Amino acid sequence: MSYTHEDIKEIFQEDDFKELIRRFKRIGILAYNYNNQIGEYTFFGDHCDQLVLTDQGPTLEPEEKTDTVAIQQAVKKYQSGALKFEAFAREVAAAGIFSWETNLEKLSVEFYNKRGEVTYREVFASIFD
């Protein structure tokens, strides 16, 4: 494994979303998943390695109904720095999001409802132009 819990926790201190993504890529992370209900991250590395960080955010019960417009608004605010992570997690939980997976190779995020269905997909490659 080319990264540690400490590496990831240090990177999470970064407030700039673009820089956070760049730094994750530099240490070999290809994707990560966040579970909004239990506040847990799972990171997937370039050597088929996996690392889990528990208790990394609030434990939230997502709403049953998905509100795609609210998800889009929360994503834009988070990427621009207008929302910190906890507020972002709360907003997307209120919009029906159980978990999301960020793919650093495709520069995209897929948001899942409680049934495991993709309810919204955001491609953020344009913020690196």
CATH code of the domain covering residue 31: 3.30.1810.10
Residue 98's domain comprises: 5-128
d(CA 88, CA 39): 13
34 band by pLDDT with thresholds 50, 70 and 90: very high
Domain count, the chain: 1
Query: 118 forms bridges with which residues in the sheet?
Result: 112
pLDDT (tens digit, 9 = 90+) per residue, 63-91?
A: 999 999 999 999 999 888 898 888 999 99
Residues 56, 39 contacting (CB under 8 angstroms):
yes
**Total-model pTM:** 0.88
pLDDT (tens digit, 9 = 90+) per residue, 1-23?
A: 578 889 988 988 877 788 888 99
Q: What angle do CA 40, 45, 49 make, to 5 degrees?
A: 85
Name residue, tokens 């207008």. 82
DSSP string spanning 30-75?
EEEEEETTTTEEEEEETTS-EEEE-S-S------SS--HHHHHHHH
Q: What angle do CA 116, 117, 119 make, to 5 degrees?
A: 130
pLDDT at 3: 84
